[in-house]
Amino acid sequence: MAVKIRLARKGRKKLAYYHIVVADSRSPRDGRYIEKIGKYNPITDPATIELDFNKALDWLQNGALPTDTCRAILSYKGVLLKKHLNEGVKKGAFDEAEAEKRFNEWMKQNDEKINAKKSNLEKTADDDKVGRIEAEKKVNDARAAKLAKKNAELAAKEAAELKQITTPVEDTVQAAEEAPAEPAADAPQE
pLDDT tens track for 20-72: 999 999 998 888 999 999 999 999 888 899 999 999 999 999 999 999 999 99
- The tally of domains found in the chain comes to 2
Q: Is residue 41 part of a domain?
A: yes
The pLDDT of residue 184 = 56
Q: 90-129 as b/e, with b when 16 or more CB fall inside 10 Å?
A: eeeeeeeeebeebbeeeeeeeeeeeeeeeeeeeeeeeeee
Domain region containing 74: 3-93
The pLDDT of residue 162 = 79
Span 6-12, average pLDDT = 94
Q: What are phi and psi of 121, to 5 degrees?
A: -65, -40
Q: Is residue 184 part of a domain?
A: no
Eight-class DSSP state of 181: P
Q: Is residue 152 part of a domain?
A: yes
Q: Is residue 179 part of a domain?
A: no
We report the CATH number of the domain holding residue 28 as: 3.30.1320.10
Q: What are phi and psi of 44, to 5 degrees?
A: -70, 160
Q: Is residue 170 part of a domain?
A: no
Domain boundary among 93, 121, 144: 93
The pLDDT of residue 46 = 83
Q: Is the dihedral of CA 126, 128, 132, 135 positive or negative?
A: positive
Q: Is residue 174 part of a domain?
A: no
Q: Is residue 188 part of a domain?
A: no
| Shared domain check, 50 and 29 | yes
Residue 161 in this model has a pLDDT that exceeds 90 = no
HSE of 111, CA atoms in CB hemisphere, 13 A: 6
**Enclosing H/E stretch for 58:** helix 53-61
* Cα(98)–Cα(104) distance, integer angstroms: 10
